[in-house]
Amino acid sequence: MNIKDMRELGYNRGWNVASWQDMPNIGDAIPLHLDWIGIGTIDSVEDQIEAWEMFCSESESMDRDFRLRLRLLSPFEFTAHDINESSDPDRYWEAFDLGIANGIRAYRRKHYKLADMRRDAKLAA
């Protein structure tokens, strides 16, 4: 494995996590126990995207924890093992996490186009 492989694995994981998450609506209030970045009520398209990325990131993190608590072996555990056993684990984790963020954003750009979201927000106002 190399850094490029880690970014690609992360990208695919991010894309997949994003595919499971619905975009919140303008006007939705994010419950306090989920709103770790302090959005509150979604007032704009930018808030929608920020909340959605937060939900995607949290889902990805919870998936790691869920599998570990149940002692399930999944592809993630093999990836984590490979990263931890690499010559530079910190750099590999950084590449993997960057790939996840990039995969989430790429999914949003393909399935929730900014221009469409802004148009829909104007029509709803």
The tens digit of pLDDT for each residue in 51-75 reads 999 999 998 988 777 555 555 556 7
Output b/e per residue, 30-54; b: 16+ Cβ within 10 A. Answer: beeeeeeeebeebeebebbbebbbb
DSSP-assigned letter for residue 2: -
Q: Which residues of the chain have pLDDT under 70?
A: 66-74
pLDDT score, position 34: 84
pLDDT score, position 18: 97
User: Diameter of the chain by CA atoms?
Assistant: 54
State the alpha helices, DSSP H only, in the chain: 3-19, 45-70, 75-84, 89-111, 114-124
pLDDT score, position 27: 95
Query: So where are the chain's domains?
Result: 3-124
